[in-house]
Structure 1
Amino acid sequence: MTNPFAINVCKTFGCRNLGLASSADYSWPDYKLGYPALHCQACGSYPPLFDEQQFRDWLSVHLTAYAAEKGHFCPSCYCKETIFYGHNPQGTQRIQCRSCKKVWTPKQQPAREITHPRSIETVPLLLPFQGASAGQKLYVLVSLDAARGNILHLSTNYTQHQTGDSLRYCYRGNTEPTVQHSDIVQRVDMREAQFLRRSQFDEIQYGSAVLKRNGKGAILRPVITAHGHFRILKIRFPDIKTHIISHECFLRGAIITAWADQFRQQQGEIWFIEEEISDSNADTPWHFQGTTYHGWWKNQWQRWEQGKNRKMVCALTGGNNSKAKMLSLATSRHFIHWLHQQTKFTHSAPLSAGRVTQILLSLTQDYNNCASLLISD
């Protein structure tokens, strides 16, 4: 298993150092780009440096708490090979780790059979909560099984665990504007330009997010949330080869770091998707409209049309371009539409960050129950 705590690594696809925690090619700190970075001399990249000890401290608690709650893997060694190990006096199922032999009782009883996804679709959301003032926002990540439609994991950047200052979100009063343009190609170009205007590529400024004065927990930098989010998915689904994501550069970095072993062997794909969907019920074929190149890395994007619908697709890791026609964010769009119809969600804005997070997690269970009924039918 890849070290779940390594974060200061090369994140360049095709580099021999991808995901490696140490290399003779590394030198740091390097300030060439205006922030402390790791310089990989093999590929020339400059990924931002994190306080690795603070990240390790937070992630270990985060993984342990999740495992103890859900029972999907061991809270001590993170091994996912477990067996059912009788019941406690209250009749609740206990689980034992096959590797370290730890026995624990998950707070939620795990399903006996889990259908492993072949591809994961991930999108971010900004959702309101009541903090130091009204109008605070949580950064939310939702990952779904792209084929079956069920939610695999949901994270917000609220954490109840103690965390170092370097991992906390710090709003500097300059919210990134929402990228809006009638031309989808221009939207992709403007989004890439927005990445370059950040103090570093992963330093998103999405607006104010401050807990109440006596509020417990902390608001994390979204990039830290992303790394924690995908480390959990990597432990649960280590063999995933296809990731379909919204156009946000640090999602790519968090994924390629978590599944670095697959990507070093050229066995993984990451796809950016940008959509403009006017008719979600359209069933006519998509038609290829050409390619354009965007951003710091001059990534190649394909343009597709389906009647009034438009999409752009970018293979970030040398994926088979013939797959682009079938890729979309339709699974997440369906969930988001459902979410905004739920009373618990529409009435959650006046609640604390922790309570909004709990409601979202509860709603994911409701949604998955609905999805399983549809699949069984």
Structure 2
Amino acid sequence: MFRYTDVNSCKTFGCRNFGVLNSPSYAQRGENILCQACGFHFPVISAAAFNAFKAQTNRGYHGVVWACPYCGKRDGLARNGYAGNGQQRVRCAGCRKTFVFYERLRVAPHLSQLADMIRAGQPLHERPGFSPKATGRDLQQLAFTARVSPFLARPFTLEATFATATFSINFNGSPNRLYVIVTVEKKSDRVIALTTNYALRSAPIPFEYRYSANEEELLVSQEPVARIFAKDRLMGRRALFFDARYGAARLKSNDAGAIVKPVLAAYRHFEIVKSLTQNAVLYVQHYIEHECFLYGGCLMANRDDVTSGHCHIAFVHEKGTRAPQRPFRSDIVTSSIIWNDVWRCFSQPDYQMAVCSLTGPQRISELREATLQPAHRFIDFIHRHPFYPQLLRLSPANVGAVLEFLATDYNCGVVKPEVRC
């Protein structure tokens, strides 16, 4: 996640160019590339824009992930004494630089007070000696503490099922919104990672990768099968597959940051998920929303595991609540609007679900377990939280920080009673 990344390769599973960069059988077609091996196009994603966004947003993970923040290597790291604050110092054999690795982090008293205010839903301007700048710094420190928390980032089984969903949230007390991606592990119901499309500094981000849309793409139908075709038609109408529109997202004139296109956030998000879980998860199933750049981001972060059969990815549409003991009716639907996607549909009287396996065939018993509900439970937790009305008034940087803190609180709330957070 700290290395320079190029994601411009064929993303058609089974194609000989799958995951291959700079193949001689690629042909430029405007802003897309045609893979002549499989006949499918994929849009060009600027490596400069993606790595500029990563460089900014991943700073908050320096010393949190067991990887050198300078060269990105994960092997050849050796413990090298302790820093002045008592944290473990680590030396990288590759670039010979040292960095601090945070295994645990004590929460300062003033941050504990801030956390209690958020939990209670109190306005932050009621904080004693309130200062917007100081409060912003404290929120970023609180978010960093949340990242270090073992309850946020640790997987819990060699076989994991991750559900990834998106939502948008207002900021600055305005109609403007951030795009948020969250991944939750199904069995434990714990948040693994959360990403917004805000960058702290706009200068390194090319203008064409800054989000500038005002309108929102809407899917009217709530029925999973109807949404499959409506979503494919919607993506097909975009100038580029990844040019999603979720509404306005204008910053204040004095905000030095930038709102980037959701595609950059998606590719960065799945790199974070992979980095946080790869040492403990042997086999992973990703269930994701029906969105092409979520698939692309998940695929590129896990391409080696996908090729070896240790990772599967599937789109999911879902409606209602499933009854565990009731049988399912099963149907098959094929959409050839963009790709030749085969969807397996399962239904009960009060529940409908459609799943499309994107990385090879899977057993019906596996497809039947597909769900996005773990991620949607966390989104519902955010919308119902006492601090939610205050959250909408914060700057985009502070919205992201509070969401990361709330993710840790959510994880602490769903752990077993004997585990203390």
Shift of 1:68: 1.4
Structure 1 residue 332 corresponds to structure 2 residue 375: yes
Q: Describe how 1:7-156 pairs up with structure 2 within 5 A.
A: 7-28=7-28, 30-31=29-30, 36-63=31-58, 65-68=59-62, 70-81=64-75, 82=77, 85-97=80-92, 100-105=95-100, 106=102, 108=145, 109=148, 111=150, 114-115=154-155, 118-130=160-172, 134-156=174-196
Q: Which residue number corresponds to residue 262 of structure 1?
A: 305
SS of alignment partner, residue 361 of structure 1: helix
Instruction: Report the AA paired with residue 332 of structure 2.
Output: T
1:101-122 per-position Cα deviation (integer Å, ceiling 9, x unaligned): 5332346446499335522211
> In the superposition, relative to structure 1, how do residues 215 and 2 fare at CA in structure 2: closer, same or farther (>3 Å)?
closer
**Over aligned residues, Cα RMSD in angstroms?**
2.7
Gaps of 5+ in 2: 103-143
Structure 1 residue 213 corresponds to structure 2 residue 253: yes
SS of alignment partner, residue 33 of structure 2: strand
Which whole-Å CA distance do the structure 1 matches of 2:68 and 2:149 have between them?
13
Q: Which residue number corresponds to residue 388 of structure 2?
A: 345
SS of alignment partner, residue 320 of structure 1: coil
> In the superposition, relative to structure 1, how do residues 3 and 20 fare at CA in structure 2: closer, same or farther (>3 Å)?
farther
SS of alignment partner, residue 42 of structure 2: coil
Contact 2:63 2:69 in 1 (8 A): no
Instruction: State the TM-score, normalized to the length of structure 2.
Output: 0.79
Which whole-Å CA distance do the structure 1 matches of 2:254 and 2:2 have between them?
38
Contact 1:10 1:20 in 2 (8 A): yes
1:180-204 per-position Cα deviation (integer Å, ceiling 9, x unaligned): 3253311221111111111111110
* Higher mean displacement: 242-251 or 319-328: 319-328
Which whole-Å CA distance do the structure 2 matches of 1:2 and 1:15 have between them?
28
Q: Which residue number corresponds to residue 317 of structure 1?
A: 359
Shift of 1:158: 0.7
Contact 1:143 1:153 in 2 (8 A): yes
Shift of 1:214: 0.8
1:295-317 per-position Cα deviation (integer Å, ceiling 9, x unaligned): 32131111212331111111111
> In the superposition, relative to structure 1, how do residues 271 and 300 fare at CA in structure 2: closer, same or farther (>3 Å)?
same
Shift of 1:233: 2.1
Which whole-Å CA distance do the structure 2 matches of 1:359 and 1:243 have between them?
26
Instruction: State the TM-score, normalized to the length of structure 1.
Output: 0.87
Shift of 1:338: 1.9
1:183 pairs with 223, 227, 230, which one?
223
> In the superposition, relative to structure 1, how do residues 244 and 137 fare at CA in structure 2: closer, same or farther (>3 Å)?
same
Which whole-Å CA distance do the structure 1 matches of 2:328 and 2:93 have between them?
50
Instruction: Report the AA paired with residue 291 of structure 1.
Output: I
| Seq. identity, % | 27
Contact 1:130 1:353 in 2 (8 A): yes
Contact 1:288 1:302 in 2 (8 A): no
Contact 1:142 1:153 in 2 (8 A): yes
Shift of 1:138: 0.7
Shift of 1:130: 1.8
Q: Describe how 1:228-377 pairs up with structure 2 within 5 A.
A: 228-238=268-278, 240-277=283-320, 279=321, 282-294=323-335, 295-322=337-364, 323-373=366-416, 376=419
1:352-373 per-position Cα deviation (integer Å, ceiling 9, x unaligned): 1111111101111111222333
Gaps of 5+ in 1: none
1:3-37 per-position Cα deviation (integer Å, ceiling 9, x unaligned): 76012111111111112222111222x13xxxx11
> In the superposition, relative to structure 1, how do residues 334 and 54 fare at CA in structure 2: closer, same or farther (>3 Å)?
closer
